[in-house]
């Protein structure tokens, strides 16, 4: 079991993916509430994003997590469904506009390893909530780990200054332990850095190779 207060790793700019697709859908009807439950970023919406914060809900459903945003109590950018929900294995929920600062970490929280200990991390981060009850009997599914990693890869490809992936527990150890000791941080880290989910570019690369081998092949052969 891992210690969630130590969960973090950095993203090497040299390994930044060129393209990392994300299967996401907006949570139905949440967009207006998400604007009210978030703030305008004080940094540039693209260049100012430096970190991704990994959370787990401690609740058993996407609906209960989304209700926090609807109630304007807190917010986060994505929600990864639990294994007993129909969206599991299909897509993740978008729950707040990426261009806005969601309210997922207390303003006073910081860590020296994360952008030199700057505060107000919500303004320079993205937040992911993974639906999990945070009990021993509720393991994170392989898909949840891969889907969370793919969100990070998508963000890494999109935000050129994104460097840090960190747990909520590391930023706020006195009050938070998420995503918890059962979250397989090393496997998640490997999935982010290995990019096993970037299937589209691999197919494109394969097609390019085929064209190189068979320069006279008509396009319809590929279809
Ligand atoms: Zn959290």
pLDDT band at 216 (very low <50, low <70, confident <90, very high): very low
Section 108-126 average pLDDT: 97
Are 128 and 54 in contact by the 8 Å Cβ rule? The answer is: yes
Q: Is 101 exposed, middle or buried (0-12, 13-18, 19+ CB in 10 A)?
A: buried
Residue 200 has pLDDT above 80, yes or no: no
Structure tokens at 187: 């496997």
Residue 29 has pLDDT above 60, yes or no: yes
Q: Which residues of 126-165 are buried (b: 16+ CB within 10 A; e: fewer)?
A: bbbbbbbebeeebebbeebbbbbbbbbbbbbbbbebbbbb
Question: Other C-beta atoms within 10 Å of 123: how many?
Answer: 19
129: annotated active-site residue:
yes
State the distance from the centre of ligand 1 to the C-alpha of 73, rounded, in angstroms.
13
Select the more confidently predicted residue: 156 or 199.
156
Residue 205 has pLDDT above 60, yes or no: no
pLDDT band at 198 (very low <50, low <70, confident <90, very high): low
Question: How many angstroms separate the CA atoms of 12 and 107, rounded?
Answer: 26
Return the pLDDT at 199: 52
Return the pLDDT at 196: 56
**Alpha-carbon distance values, 121 to 8, 27, 124 (Å):** 15, 24, 5
Domains of the chain, earliest start first: 4-197 (3.40.80.10)
Q: Is the peptide bond before 179 cis (omega within 30 degrees of 0)?
A: yes
Question: How many angstroms separate the CA atoms of 175 and 169, rounded?
Answer: 8
pLDDT band at 204 (very low <50, low <70, confident <90, very high): low
> Given 24, 129, 146, 197, which residue is catalytic?
129
Return the pLDDT at 1: 81
pLDDT band at 212 (very low <50, low <70, confident <90, very high): very low
Return the pLDDT at 220: 37
State the distance from the centre of ligand 1 to the C-alpha of 202, rounded, in angstroms.
34
142-158 vs 185-194: helix crossing angle, rounded to 10: 50
State the distance from the centre of ligand 1 to the C-alpha of 58, rounded, in angstroms.
9
State the distance from the centre of ligand 1 to the C-alpha of 195, rounded, in angstroms.
25
Residue 215 has pLDDT above 50, yes or no: no
Are 159 and 99 in contact by the 8 Å Cβ rule? The answer is: no
State the distance from the centre of ligand 1 to the C-alpha of 76, rounded, in angstroms.
9
Question: Other C-beta atoms within 10 Å of 205: how many?
Answer: 10
Q: Interior CA angle at 189 toward 186 and 192, to 5°?
A: 155
pLDDT band at 149 (very low <50, low <70, confident <90, very high): very high
């Amino acid at each position: 079991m891992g210690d969630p207060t130590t969960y973090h790793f950095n993203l090497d700019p040299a390994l930044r993916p060129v393209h990392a697709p994300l299967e996401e859908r907006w949570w139905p009807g949440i967009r207006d509430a998400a604007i009210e439950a978030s703030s305008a970023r004080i940094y540039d919406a693209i260049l100012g994003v430096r970190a991704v914060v990994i959370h787990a809900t401690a609740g058993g459903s996407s609906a209960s997590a989304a209700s926090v945003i609807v109630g304007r109590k807190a917010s986060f950018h994505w929600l990864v469904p639990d294994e007993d929900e129909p969206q599991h294995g299909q897509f993740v929920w978008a729950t707040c506009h990426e261009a806005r600062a969601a309210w997922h970490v207390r303003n006073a929280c910081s860590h020296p390893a994360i952008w030199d200990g700057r505060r107000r991390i919500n303004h320079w981060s993205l937040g992911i909530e993974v639906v999990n009850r945070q009990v021993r009997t509720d393991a994170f599914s392989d898909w949840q780990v891969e889907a969370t990693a793919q969100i990070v890869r998508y963000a890494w490809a999109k935000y050129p200054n994104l460097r840090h992936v960190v747990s909520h527990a590391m930023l706020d150890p006195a009050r938070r332990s998420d995503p918890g000791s059962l979250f397989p941080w090393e496997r998640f880290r490997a999935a982010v850095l290995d990019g096993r989910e970037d299937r589209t570019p691999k197919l494109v690369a394969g097609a390019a190779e085929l064209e190189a081998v068979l320069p006279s092949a008509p396009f319809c052969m590929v279809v």
